[in-house]
Amino acid sequence: MTIVEEEREIIEVDVLFVGGGIACLGGALHLSNLIRKHNERVEKQGKGKRLDEITIALLEKGTDIGSHSISGAIMDPIALKELVPDFLEKGAPVESEVTKEEVYLLTKKGRVKSPIIPPPLNNHGNYIVSLSRLTNWLGRLAGGNEVDIFPCFAATEVLYEGNRVIGVRTGEKGIDPDGNRKANFEPGIDLHAKVTVFGDGSRGNLTNGLIKKLKLDKGKNPQTYVVGAKEVWEIPEGRFKPGDVIHTMGYPLKSNTYGGGFIYGMKDNLVSVGLLTGLDWEDPYLDPHLEFQKFKLHPLVADILRDGKLLQYGAKTVPVGGYFSVPKIAFDGGVIVGDSASLFISQKIKGIHLAMKSGILAAETILEALLKDDFSAARLENYQTSLYKSYIGKELYKVRNFHQAFQGGLWIGLIKAGLQYILGGRILKGRLNTESDFVHQKKVTDLYGTDLPTDEQKGIIKFDGKRTFDKASDVYYSGTIHEEQQPAHLKIADLNICYTKCKEEHQNPCLRFCPANVYEMEIDEQTGKPTMKLNFSNCLHCKTCDIKDPYENITWIPPEGGGGPKYTIM
């Protein structure tokens, strides 16, 4: 479909934030505060250049701010204290300060309690939060502070002049599955900005394209991820208090699979329970949703959830490559913030304060850029420099080889990571290299021989619909919905690979690794011919398929704005 360019509206803004997560919202709010304070100072001192009528716009693909935001989550409040010092008085929706912590190593039925809380998992002074609630609250603060917020708008393309970023294009609306215009057709809009801030999340489609085009990952480790599946349950009063925290290692994940479980007590008898699984797993039969269901059957978790009720489900990937996987984050006309910039401390399982601080630092550089009317890479690189000098840069550096240390398995990883932490990063100094997650997956015959594994070998369990749920039921609890009459937003480059090479070598792992049952292989009863069916309306926008497909055959692109999960307490 070609759009006649005259139909396309062009909107000019000064600063454009792409993505309605914590990083962009924090940045937009901080920038509007900085501009206001700057103008007050100029007014008071009677000298200097005022910044009048600066337009700050923010695009979000979800229906509401926060509806696509999901995390464990425990938040270190250090960045929020900078951004909104009186955040509690202003009604920040924190669930509770962390009051009690336990760490367990799980076997199938047993548990060993750690006698101490490993320092990185010590959450004294941190808060349990629902990221969707916190993000929504921050969105309301930013919206009340002269930031123009546009939900339901998915940015689908970066606009360039040469190699200089000049803004983004939003997706068309009202296209039918065959690519024809429907009666409600609306062309995308071009938003031009002096500076564009990319915060399109873990494996953000725009950032991914930027990294490739501008070679922002030159000399860096490839990005690596975990996928987290999470549910929020309502449980009987007093069973698990707000502020109670449990972290687990071991079961149901095998010792060569990176990851672990969490249980966080929220207000109003709610509990957040989830499992993170490293996408560098080897087994083509691994299904992170299935592993999560097994986690809930472990006696430690089952006792907490007993007689409870599932309220919400969701999944997302998180970048865990750390310091050496952070791309160049400033270039002509733009910067990258938050998860898109791989700002996450996997050792502490924390990204919220890094996302927020990156937004704050980006805003400070953008203020300078507005004052100097200079949006070149040289000017915007001050953001990158200040990030590495800041407490988040130092935190990232201290545990720079954490995730790589686990590539030899849980036990070796624990020893290496523990020593690196205790010695303040004085061992494993140089860069440990890593490979993209999909490379790690082995062929079925490499792991199981020529006979296909039995359900028992694959660890398959029956779901009871009370404590364990199949994917379709869980997706219902995510509120996910998409306009069905649009082209699928999962692009399979070569379906032939699915029916031949991928089937033979990996038994189509997309059927298992997608936590929302988007991929389904239908077999014709007469001919035995397979057809890939995409239940794209189920998609949780987690990006696992884009990352883990062994042939890099799947690309996730944003669907029509407004589609996707409707998280409210995740």
Q: Which residues bind ligand SF4 (CB under 6 A)?
A: 490, 514-516, 518, 539-545, 556
d(CA 394, CA 566): 35
Min dist. Cβ of residue 230 to ligand SF4 (A): 13
Give the position of tokens 């089937």: 503
The radius of gyration of the chain's CA atoms, rounded to the nearest angstrom, is 23
Min dist. Cβ of residue 315 to ligand SF4 (A): 7
Closest to ligand SF4 by CB, 79 vs 514, is: 514
Closest to ligand SF4 by CB, 155 vs 514, is: 514
In terms of Cα–Cα distance, which of 507, 529, 379 is closest to 448?
507
Closest to ligand SF4 by CB, 136 vs 544, is: 544
Closest to ligand SF4 by CB, 38 vs 203, is: 203
Min dist. Cβ of residue 132 to ligand SF4 (A): 17
d(CA 82, CA 90): 14
d(CA 357, CA 22): 9
Helix then strand then coil, in percent of the chain rounded to 5, is 35, 25, 45
Min dist. Cβ of residue 203 to ligand SF4 (A): 9
Closest to ligand SF4 by CB, 127 vs 313, is: 313
Pair of tokens at residue 238 = 């007093």
| φ/ψ (deg, to 5) at 43 | -60, -50
Q: Please state, in angstroms and as integers, the Cα–Cα distance from residue 146 to each residue in 36, 58, 142, 547, following that order.
A: 10, 11, 7, 37
d(CA 512, CA 550): 13
Min dist. Cβ of residue 542 to ligand SF4 (A): 4
H or E segment to which residue 212 belongs = helix 205-214
Min dist. Cβ of residue 474 to ligand SF4 (A): 11
- Is the peptide bond preceding residue 229 cis, with omega within 30 degrees of 0? no
Min dist. Cβ of residue 228 to ligand SF4 (A): 12
Closest to ligand SF4 by CB, 357 vs 512, is: 512
String of b and e for 422-458 (b: at least 16 CB within 10 Å)?
eeebeebeeebebebbbebbeebeeebeeeebeeeeb
Closest to ligand SF4 by CB, 129 vs 518, is: 518
Closest to ligand SF4 by CB, 432 vs 511, is: 511
Min dist. Cβ of residue 557 to ligand SF4 (A): 10
